[in-house]
Amino acid sequence: MNKVEKPLNEDKLNNVVIDLNAVNTGQINEGGFLRMFGWAVEKILGNMFGGSGAVPVQIRGNPAQVSSFANTLASEKRYMDSWRAYGLDDPRTYKDRAILKKSVSNFERLTGLDWPFE
């Protein structure tokens, strides 16, 4: 028998909504929010490194929270790029790690959420 593959219809994919105000709205206590948040961040980073398939993610929060989320993602990518290119003992990697730590700290302060990667 021939297996017929159905084309993926991206219009039918559910958007993943990350509400950066989840701590304030009580949504953080609902099962699965932190797991979904970690999954979404992992998928976004994967796509930043050339992964396939777009993840329909919508970010909600005040402008400072959304900006901090974007800055932290960019810092995470920059650190990973340095680590891959120069190794962990290079001064450029140390510098990018320090920038990442500062970005993560700012994100956690603004949202009350823990950044899913250490």
> What pLDDT, in 10s, does the model give residues 42-98?
888 877 777 666 677 888 999 999 999 999 999 999 999 999 999 999 999 999 999
Task: State pTM to two decimals.
Answer: 0.77
How far is the C-alpha of 68 from the C-alpha of 57, rounded, in Å?
A: 16
Longest Cα–Cα distance of the chain, Å, equals: 58
Which position has the token pair 């790690």? 97
| Count of the separate structural domains present in the chain | 1
Compute the average pLDDT of residues 102-107.
Answer: 97
76 domain residue, yes or no:
yes
Query: Which pLDDT belongs to residue 90?
Result: 96
**Would you say residue 118 lies in a domain?**
no
Q: What is the DSSP letter of 35?
A: H
Average pLDDT, the chain: 82
Which ranges constitute the DSSP H helices of 51-90? 63-86
The token duo for 49 is: 């490194």
Domain-embedded: residue 116: no
For residue 30, give the 3-state DSSP assignment: coil
Structural domain includes residue 54: yes
Range of the domain at 92: 12-111
Does 3 fall in a domain? no
